[in-house]
Amino acid sequence: MTIRIRRLSGFEFARASPHLVDIHLRAMGYPPSMKDQRMRSWRNDVFNRGFVAYIACETRDESVADPQPAGEEFVVGVAYGFLGNPDLWWDQQLRRGLLESKWYPSVSAPDGPRGPVRGDFPEFVRSYFEVAEIHVLPEAQGKGIGRTLLTTLLDGVPARHALLSTPEVAGEQNSAFGLYRSLGFQDVLRNFMYAGDHRPFAILGRSLPLG
């Protein structure tokens, strides 16, 4: 088995989105009914500033007993992201979570509470790369593919921080948390509920470059 990491252009990513979203749905345990909505969202993401995407391709060796033809290449993982932007849904969810968690003092106006001003948010909100998605097929996990995808994705991005989210797991006992912690990602928000998702998530971040 040979693993190759390949960068995709925005056009290539959009064209491959049906298969890439299938990887996402399987890795996250989401129902197939979500596929069309996810495809629309992923295709829209290619227009975000600083969009970068990579896939992991596996080539089966002739010596490996497998029903798939030897030498044929299969996409087994995907990772993509872009620069944070206050106009984007995820950034707005992040800022809501920071407000609700009282990350910083409330700001009041003479006539009562008002919204936060830009300078009130933690510094990382002003310069971050959002790791929007990183997924590896369940049967391909445990081979270091996720680590290679993530480190490649974050190499050289023009931001001072990287942020990502992952579903909460009791005791952080899964490979995703293990990967993120090993790369120095720290807590930003815990047990955060995104609008439209019933599962709690952890939002994690770290400074860049990975070094």
Q: Measure Cα distances from 6 to 3, 55, 64, 182 in Å.
A: 10, 5, 23, 23
To the nearest 10°, report the CA torsion of 6, 163, 169, 196: -100
Angle at 183 between CA 179 and CA 189, to 5 degrees: 80
Q: Which residues are catalytic?
A: 180
Cβ density class 150-177: b for 16+ within 10 Å, e for less: bebbbeebebebbbbbbeeeeeeeeebb
Say how far apart CA 40 and CA 116 lie, in whole Å. Answer: 31
